[in-house]
Amino acid sequence: MKILICISHVPDTNAKIPFKDGQPDLNGISFVIAPYDDFALARAVELRDETKGKLTVLNVGLADTEPTIRKALAIGADDAIRVNAHPHDAFYVASQIAAIAKQENYDLILMGRESSDFNGGQVHGMVAEMLGLPCVVPCMKLDLNGNVAVMQREIEGGKEVVEVATPFVAGCQEPIAEWKIPNMRGIMSAKTKPLKVVEPVAVENYTHITKYEMPPQRSSVKMIDKDNIGELVRLLREEAKVL
């Protein structure tokens, strides 16, 4: 089975991001594979092994994302494609992925349900629409039975089991697989696995981020004695007016 895993290169989720002149200051912040993409990658490696297939990792990004791509190769992807462009917005990224997928005819196109930088949750749906493929999000379990996938998908207040034949797109989340940590052999072999750099297709910009700000800070916490709980109830009703 021919599998494509699309990953985002995002700031470490533990990082505190400072802002300077309305822009995020990402100097000195370490970057990782976006957490949901990392779950999808882990399952993609397992499915590649099960089907004795081929797993390609794709990232839309400038040269600074290559260490993140190499990490995906160390975890188990067979080869990599980097589209040499700044990932301007979801439509831009989806257009690049769709352009490559049209040539390669992947059976499975996997990614996370959203990235942890822009949290758009749009790329999977856009890629599916551009390719005319079905799309399952958020996918928390994916098993293959020949060319039919049985998936568990989270819905409000529960889950549903869906079936769809390949090819399709899925946006994944935990607990689809355990995150995989690269071992020494993986890290060594990742250095020599093929990483192809391709130039982007031309895409119109539909959106533009004009400003970043810190979210409004909460004024300092008001502490209430545990033996005076009635006071909390009063404050919630009269001061916060939320009851």
* Span 102-121, contacts to another protein by CB under 8 A: 116-121
Integer Cα distance of 28 and 119 in angstroms: 22
Residues numbered 13-42 forming contacts with another protein, rule: CB under 8 A: 13-14, 16-17, 19, 24, 35-36, 39
Beta carbon nearer to another protein, 9 or 70: 9
Q: Residue 194, class by beta-carbon neighbours within 10 Å (0-12 exposed, 13-18 middle, 19+ buried)?
A: exposed
146 binds another protein (CB under 8 A): no
240 binds another protein (CB under 8 A): yes
Residues numbered 171-190 forming contacts with another protein, rule: CB under 8 A: 171, 173-175
92 binds another protein (CB under 8 A): no
Identify the helix (H) or strand (E) that includes residue 90: helix 90-104
Which among 43-51, 61-69, 103-111, 162-170 is the span making contact with another protein, rule CB under 8 A?
162-170
Beta carbon nearer to another protein, 85 or 235: 235
Q: What angle do CA 68, 73, 79 make, to 5 degrees?
A: 115
Q: Partners of 5 in the beta sheet?
A: 57, 110
137 binds another protein (CB under 8 A): yes
CB atoms within 10 A of CB 125: 16
Beta carbon nearer to another protein, 70 or 152: 152
DSSP, res 64: G
Least distance (Å) between residue 135 CB and another protein = 6
Beta carbon nearer to another protein, 188 or 236: 236
99 binds another protein (CB under 8 A): no
Beta carbon nearer to another protein, 83 or 137: 137
Beta carbon nearer to another protein, 54 or 134: 134
49 binds another protein (CB under 8 A): no
In our burial notation (b when 16+ CB lie closer than 10 A, e otherwise), range 53-91 reads bebbbbbbbeeebbebbbbbbbbbbbebbbbebebbbbb
Integer Cα distance of 203 and 25 in angstroms: 27
123 binds another protein (CB under 8 A): yes
48: left (phi over 0), alpha (psi -120 to 50) or beta: alpha
User: How many residues at the interface with another protein, by CB under 8 A?
Assistant: 82
Distances (CA, A) of 65 to 31, 59, 136, 182: 8, 8, 27, 17
223 binds another protein (CB under 8 A): yes
Residues numbered 72-91 forming contacts with another protein, rule: CB under 8 A: 90-91
